[in-house]
Protein backbone atom coordinates (compact mmCIF):
# COMPACT_ATOMS: atom_id res chain seq x y z
CA UNK A 1 0.00 0.00 0.00
CA UNK A 2 1.62 3.30 -1.06
CA UNK A 3 1.64 5.91 1.67
CA UNK A 4 1.56 9.68 1.38
CA UNK A 5 1.39 12.86 3.45
CA UNK A 6 -1.34 15.50 3.26
CA UNK A 7 -0.56 18.93 4.68
CA UNK A 8 -3.56 21.21 5.18
CA UNK A 9 -2.02 24.65 5.61
CA UNK A 10 -5.37 26.13 6.70
CA UNK A 11 -5.03 24.10 9.91
CA UNK A 12 -1.38 24.96 10.60
CA UNK A 13 -0.77 27.27 13.58
CA UNK A 14 2.98 27.52 13.12
CA UNK A 15 3.86 25.71 16.35
CA UNK A 16 6.94 24.06 14.83
CA UNK A 17 6.21 20.62 16.29
CA UNK A 18 6.78 19.04 12.86
CA UNK A 19 10.25 20.51 12.42
CA UNK A 20 11.26 19.65 15.99
CA UNK A 21 10.08 16.04 15.64
CA UNK A 22 11.99 15.71 12.37
CA UNK A 23 15.17 16.93 14.04
CA UNK A 24 14.65 14.64 17.02
CA UNK A 25 14.04 11.46 15.04
CA UNK A 26 17.18 12.11 12.99
CA UNK A 27 19.11 13.29 16.06
CA UNK A 28 19.88 16.64 14.43
CA UNK A 29 20.49 19.85 16.40
CA UNK A 30 17.14 21.31 17.43
CA UNK A 31 17.38 24.79 15.96
CA UNK A 32 14.84 27.05 14.26
CA UNK A 33 15.75 27.28 10.60
CA UNK A 34 13.38 28.52 7.85
CA UNK A 35 15.83 27.25 5.23
CA UNK A 36 16.12 23.59 4.31
CA UNK A 37 19.60 22.08 4.69
CA UNK A 38 21.33 18.75 5.32
CA UNK A 39 20.19 18.75 8.97
CA UNK A 40 16.77 20.31 8.46
CA UNK A 41 14.48 18.29 6.19
CA UNK A 42 11.34 20.37 6.61
CA UNK A 43 10.79 24.10 6.86
CA UNK A 44 8.08 26.27 8.36
CA UNK A 45 7.78 29.91 7.30
CA UNK A 46 5.38 32.66 8.41
CA UNK A 47 4.07 34.65 5.44
CA UNK A 48 2.08 37.87 5.58
CA UNK A 49 -0.95 37.96 3.27
CA UNK A 50 -3.89 40.31 2.78
CA UNK A 51 -5.91 38.14 5.16
CA UNK A 52 -3.19 37.98 7.81
CA UNK A 53 -0.34 35.66 8.63
CA UNK A 54 -0.27 32.11 7.25
CA UNK A 55 2.28 29.36 7.67
CA UNK A 56 3.90 27.49 4.80
CA UNK A 57 5.46 24.10 5.52
CA UNK A 58 7.59 22.46 2.87
CA UNK A 59 9.42 19.13 2.62
CA UNK A 60 10.42 16.57 0.00
CA UNK A 61 7.53 15.87 -2.39
CA UNK A 62 8.45 12.17 -2.80
CA UNK A 63 7.62 12.18 -6.52
CA UNK A 64 5.94 9.19 -8.10
CA UNK A 65 8.70 9.10 -10.73
CA UNK A 66 11.53 10.99 -9.04
CA UNK A 67 14.06 12.85 -11.15
CA UNK A 68 16.59 12.64 -8.30
CA UNK A 69 16.60 8.84 -8.40
CA UNK A 70 16.84 8.88 -12.19
CA UNK A 71 19.88 11.17 -12.07
CA UNK A 72 21.68 9.24 -9.31
CA UNK A 73 24.64 7.40 -10.83
CA UNK A 74 24.99 4.82 -8.05
CA UNK A 75 21.39 4.08 -7.04
CA UNK A 76 21.55 5.87 -3.69
CA UNK A 77 18.01 7.22 -4.19
CA UNK A 78 15.08 4.86 -4.71
CA UNK A 79 11.31 5.17 -5.03
CA UNK A 80 9.80 2.45 -2.83
CA UNK A 81 6.45 0.71 -3.10
CA UNK A 82 5.71 2.33 0.25
CA UNK A 83 5.63 5.73 -1.50
CA UNK A 84 8.78 7.16 0.06
CA UNK A 85 11.86 8.12 -1.94
CA UNK A 86 14.65 6.71 0.21
CA UNK A 87 18.33 7.56 0.42
CA UNK A 88 21.21 5.12 1.10
CA UNK A 89 24.21 6.67 2.83
CA UNK A 90 26.51 3.77 1.94
CA UNK A 91 25.93 4.39 -1.78
CA UNK A 92 25.88 8.18 -2.00
CA UNK A 93 29.08 9.66 -3.44
CA UNK A 94 28.04 13.29 -3.07
CA UNK A 95 28.09 13.99 -6.82
CA UNK A 96 25.10 16.37 -6.50
CA UNK A 97 23.39 15.27 -9.73
CA UNK A 98 20.20 14.79 -7.72
CA UNK A 99 20.36 18.41 -6.57
CA UNK A 100 20.44 19.58 -10.18
CA UNK A 101 17.66 17.20 -11.24
CA UNK A 102 15.16 17.94 -8.44
CA UNK A 103 12.49 20.43 -9.60
CA UNK A 104 11.69 21.35 -5.99
CA UNK A 105 15.25 22.10 -4.81
CA UNK A 106 15.09 19.49 -2.03
CA UNK A 107 18.33 17.44 -1.72
CA UNK A 108 20.97 19.29 0.29
CA UNK A 109 24.75 18.90 0.44
CA UNK A 110 26.68 18.38 3.68
CA UNK A 111 29.03 21.31 3.18
CA UNK A 112 30.49 21.10 6.69
CA UNK A 113 31.22 17.36 6.60
CA UNK A 114 34.64 15.76 6.02
CA UNK A 115 32.82 13.03 4.11
CA UNK A 116 30.03 15.05 2.44
CA UNK A 117 26.95 13.44 0.96
CA UNK A 118 23.62 14.72 -0.30
CA UNK A 119 20.71 14.22 2.11
CA UNK A 120 16.94 14.57 2.11
CA UNK A 121 13.74 13.53 3.87
CA UNK A 122 12.89 9.83 3.50
CA UNK A 123 9.37 10.04 4.97
CA UNK A 124 10.80 8.20 8.01
CA UNK A 125 10.82 5.01 5.94
CA UNK A 126 13.47 3.07 7.87
CA UNK A 127 12.30 4.54 11.17
CA UNK A 128 8.81 3.14 10.52
CA UNK A 129 10.23 -0.36 9.97
CA UNK A 130 11.99 -0.39 13.35
CA UNK A 131 10.26 -2.66 15.91
CA UNK A 132 10.80 -3.70 19.52
CA UNK A 133 11.18 -7.40 18.67
CA UNK A 134 14.45 -6.94 16.79
CA UNK A 135 17.47 -8.49 18.49
CA UNK A 136 20.39 -6.55 19.96
CA UNK A 137 24.05 -7.55 19.66
CA UNK A 138 26.64 -7.67 22.44
CA UNK A 139 27.58 -4.02 21.88
CA UNK A 140 24.02 -2.79 22.17
CA UNK A 141 23.23 -2.27 18.49
CA UNK A 142 19.87 -3.30 17.03
CA UNK A 143 20.05 -6.02 14.37
CA UNK A 144 17.79 -6.29 11.33
CA UNK A 145 16.08 -9.51 10.18
CA UNK A 146 19.22 -10.64 8.35
CA UNK A 147 21.40 -10.21 11.44
CA UNK A 148 23.13 -7.02 10.25
CA UNK A 149 23.18 -3.87 12.33
CA UNK A 150 20.08 -1.79 11.66
CA UNK A 151 21.09 1.22 9.61
CA UNK A 152 19.26 4.54 9.32
CA UNK A 153 20.84 7.22 7.15
CA UNK A 154 24.29 5.69 7.57
CA UNK A 155 24.09 5.30 11.35
CA UNK A 156 23.65 2.06 13.27
CA UNK A 157 20.77 2.22 15.74
CA UNK A 158 21.51 1.55 19.39
CA UNK A 159 18.96 -0.14 21.62
CA UNK A 160 18.78 2.98 23.78
CA UNK A 161 17.60 5.03 20.79
CA UNK A 162 15.12 2.48 19.45
CA UNK A 163 12.27 3.30 21.83
CA UNK A 164 12.63 7.01 21.11
CA UNK A 165 12.45 6.46 17.36
CA UNK A 166 9.46 4.14 17.65
CA UNK A 167 7.62 6.60 19.89
CA UNK A 168 8.22 9.48 17.50
CA UNK A 169 6.89 7.45 14.55
CA UNK A 170 3.80 5.89 16.16
CA UNK A 171 0.52 7.82 16.12
CA UNK A 172 -2.32 7.77 18.62
CA UNK A 173 -3.94 4.79 16.86
CA UNK A 174 -0.78 2.74 17.27
CA UNK A 175 0.04 2.89 13.55
CA UNK A 176 3.45 3.83 12.25
CA UNK A 177 3.73 7.19 10.52
CA UNK A 178 6.18 9.97 9.75
CA UNK A 179 7.47 11.83 12.81
CA UNK A 180 6.17 15.17 11.51
CA UNK A 181 2.60 13.85 11.22
CA UNK A 182 2.69 12.18 14.64
CA UNK A 183 3.86 15.39 16.29
CA UNK A 184 1.32 17.72 14.66
CA UNK A 185 -1.22 18.75 17.37
CA UNK A 186 -3.70 20.25 14.88
CA UNK A 187 -3.83 17.30 12.46
CA UNK A 188 -2.53 19.66 9.81
CA UNK A 189 -0.01 17.04 8.65
CA UNK A 190 -1.62 13.65 7.98
CA UNK A 191 0.05 10.37 7.04
CA UNK A 192 -1.77 7.43 5.48
CA UNK A 193 -2.87 5.58 2.36
CA UNK A 194 -2.17 7.72 -0.70
CA UNK A 195 -5.53 7.16 -2.38
CA UNK A 196 -7.41 7.81 0.88
CA UNK A 197 -5.56 11.10 1.45
CA UNK A 198 -6.30 12.26 -2.09
CA UNK A 199 -9.97 11.49 -1.44
CA UNK A 200 -9.85 13.43 1.84
CA UNK A 201 -8.27 16.43 0.13
CA UNK A 202 -10.89 16.40 -2.60
CA UNK A 203 -13.68 16.16 -0.02
CA UNK A 204 -12.36 19.13 1.95
CA UNK A 205 -12.20 21.31 -1.15
CA UNK A 206 -15.69 20.26 -2.25
CA UNK A 207 -17.25 20.79 1.19
CA UNK A 208 -15.49 24.12 1.81
CA UNK A 209 -15.04 25.85 -1.58
CA UNK A 210 -14.68 29.29 0.02
CA UNK A 211 -11.89 28.10 2.32
CA UNK A 212 -9.52 26.44 -0.11
CA UNK A 213 -7.74 27.26 -3.33
CA UNK A 214 -9.26 24.84 -5.84
CA UNK A 215 -6.09 22.83 -6.17
CA UNK A 216 -4.31 19.94 -4.49
CA UNK A 217 -0.64 20.79 -4.82
CA UNK A 218 1.36 17.66 -5.62
CA UNK A 219 -1.49 15.75 -7.25
CA UNK A 220 -0.37 16.54 -10.81
CA UNK A 221 2.95 18.32 -10.42
CA UNK A 222 5.77 16.48 -12.29
CA UNK A 223 3.45 13.54 -12.88
CA UNK A 224 2.24 13.34 -9.28
CA UNK A 225 3.88 13.06 -5.88
CA UNK A 226 3.30 11.46 -2.48
CA UNK A 227 3.08 14.74 -0.55
CA UNK A 228 0.01 16.92 -1.03
CA UNK A 229 -0.91 20.41 0.17
CA UNK A 230 -4.15 22.31 0.65
CA UNK A 231 -4.13 26.07 1.12
CA UNK A 232 -6.38 29.11 1.39
CA UNK A 233 -3.70 31.20 -0.35
CA UNK A 234 -2.42 30.70 -3.92
CA UNK A 235 0.60 28.43 -3.76
CA UNK A 236 2.78 30.81 -5.75
CA UNK A 237 2.23 33.41 -3.00
CA UNK A 238 3.65 30.91 -0.50
CA UNK A 239 6.84 30.32 -2.46
CA UNK A 240 5.85 26.93 -3.88
CA UNK A 241 7.22 25.93 -7.26
CA UNK A 242 4.18 26.20 -9.53
CA UNK A 243 5.85 26.11 -12.95
CA UNK A 244 7.22 22.56 -12.80
CA UNK A 245 4.66 21.15 -15.24
CA UNK A 246 2.65 17.94 -15.04
CA UNK A 247 4.97 15.62 -16.95
CA UNK A 248 7.30 13.34 -15.01
CA UNK A 249 10.91 14.46 -15.28
CA UNK A 250 13.26 11.45 -15.60
CA UNK A 251 13.03 11.53 -19.41
CA UNK A 252 14.08 15.18 -19.31
CA UNK A 253 16.84 14.32 -16.84
CA UNK A 254 18.43 11.84 -19.20
CA UNK A 255 18.04 14.17 -22.17
CA UNK A 256 20.28 16.56 -20.24
CA UNK A 257 22.74 13.90 -19.12
CA UNK A 258 23.04 12.60 -22.68
CA UNK A 259 24.53 15.95 -23.67
CA UNK A 260 27.37 15.52 -21.19
CA UNK A 261 30.51 14.10 -22.92
CA UNK A 262 30.71 10.32 -22.65
CA UNK A 263 34.02 10.47 -20.80
CA UNK A 264 32.45 12.52 -18.00
CA UNK A 265 29.54 10.15 -17.52
CA UNK A 266 31.83 7.12 -17.72
CA UNK A 267 34.19 8.66 -15.21
CA UNK A 268 31.28 9.44 -12.89
CA UNK A 269 29.98 5.88 -12.98
CA UNK A 270 33.48 4.49 -12.46
CA UNK A 271 34.09 6.93 -9.62
CA UNK A 272 30.89 5.79 -7.97
CA UNK A 273 31.98 2.17 -8.27
CA UNK A 274 35.40 2.85 -6.76
CA UNK A 275 33.96 4.86 -3.89
CA UNK A 276 31.28 2.28 -3.27
CA UNK A 277 33.84 -0.52 -3.00
CA UNK A 278 36.67 1.23 -1.17
CA UNK A 279 34.92 4.05 0.69
CA UNK A 280 38.27 5.83 0.90
CA UNK A 281 38.49 9.45 -0.16
CA UNK A 282 42.19 9.25 -1.06
CA UNK A 283 41.58 6.53 -3.62
CA UNK A 284 38.73 8.54 -5.10
CA UNK A 285 41.02 11.57 -5.49
CA UNK A 286 43.65 9.38 -7.16
CA UNK A 287 41.06 7.99 -9.54
CA UNK A 288 39.87 11.48 -10.46
CA UNK A 289 43.44 12.48 -11.23
CA UNK A 290 43.90 9.43 -13.43
CA UNK A 291 40.76 10.35 -15.39
CA UNK A 292 42.03 13.91 -15.88
CA UNK A 293 45.38 12.55 -17.11
CA UNK A 294 43.64 10.24 -19.55
CA UNK A 295 41.55 13.12 -20.90
CA UNK A 296 44.68 15.27 -21.28
CA UNK A 297 46.44 12.50 -23.20
CA UNK A 298 43.46 12.12 -25.54
CA UNK A 299 43.39 15.86 -26.22
CA UNK A 300 47.13 15.80 -26.92
pLDDT digits (tens, 9 = 90+) for 66-82: 999 999 999 999 999 99
Q: Could you write out the three-class secondary structure of 241-275?
A: CCCCCCCCCHHHHHHHHCCCCHHHHHHHHHHHHHH
Neighbour tally for 140: CB within 10 Å:
12
Averaged pLDDT, 106-133:
95
Tell me what the mean pLDDT of segment 168-189 comes to: 97
Topology adopted by domain 1-122+175-248? Alpha-Beta Plaits (3.30.70)
Q: What percent of the chain has pLDDT over 90?
A: 78
Q: Helices 17-25 and 159-168: crossing angle, nearest 10°?
A: 150
Q: Per-residue pLDDT averaged across 104-130, rounded?
A: 95
Mean pLDDT, range 101-128, rounded to an integer: 95
Task: Evaluate if residue 183 carries a pLDDT over 60.
Answer: yes
Angle between helices 281-299 and 262-278 (to 10 degrees): 160
How far apart are the C-alpha atoms of 13 and 1, rounded to whole Å?
A: 30
Q: What is the pLDDT of residue 51?
A: 80
The 3-state DSSP composition of the chain as helix, strand, coil percent (nearest 5) reads 35, 20, 45
CA distances from 165 to 53, 64, 80, 150, 182 (A): 33, 26, 21, 13, 12
* pLDDT at res. 50: 84
Average pLDDT for residues 46-54, to the nearest whole number? 89
* pLDDT for residue 127: 97
Whether the per-residue pLDDT at 277 is higher than 50: the answer is no
Please state the rounded mean pLDDT for residues 209-238: 97
CA 284, chain centre distance (Å): 27
Domain ranges of the chain: 1-122+175-248, 131-168, 260-299
Pick from 149-163, 198-212, 267-281: least confident:
267-281
Question: What pLDDT does residue 276 have?
Answer: 45
Gap between the Cα atoms of 262 and 229, Å rounded: 40
CB atoms within 10 A of CB 78: 17
What pLDDT is recorded for position 218? 98
Query: Which pTM value belongs to this model?
Result: 0.83
Report CA 112 to chain centroid distance, whole Å.
Answer: 20
How far apart (Å, rounded) are the C-alpha atoms in residues 40 and 120? Answer: 9
Amino acid sequence: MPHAILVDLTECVGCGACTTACQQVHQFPEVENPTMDAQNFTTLRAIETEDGEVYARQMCQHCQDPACASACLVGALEKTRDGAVTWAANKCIGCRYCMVACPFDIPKYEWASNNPKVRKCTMCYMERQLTTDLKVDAEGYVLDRSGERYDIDGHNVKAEDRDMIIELTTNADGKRASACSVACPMNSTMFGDRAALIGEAQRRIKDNPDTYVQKIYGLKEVGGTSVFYLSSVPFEDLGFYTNVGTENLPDHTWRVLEKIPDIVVTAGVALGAVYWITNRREEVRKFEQDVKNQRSQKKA
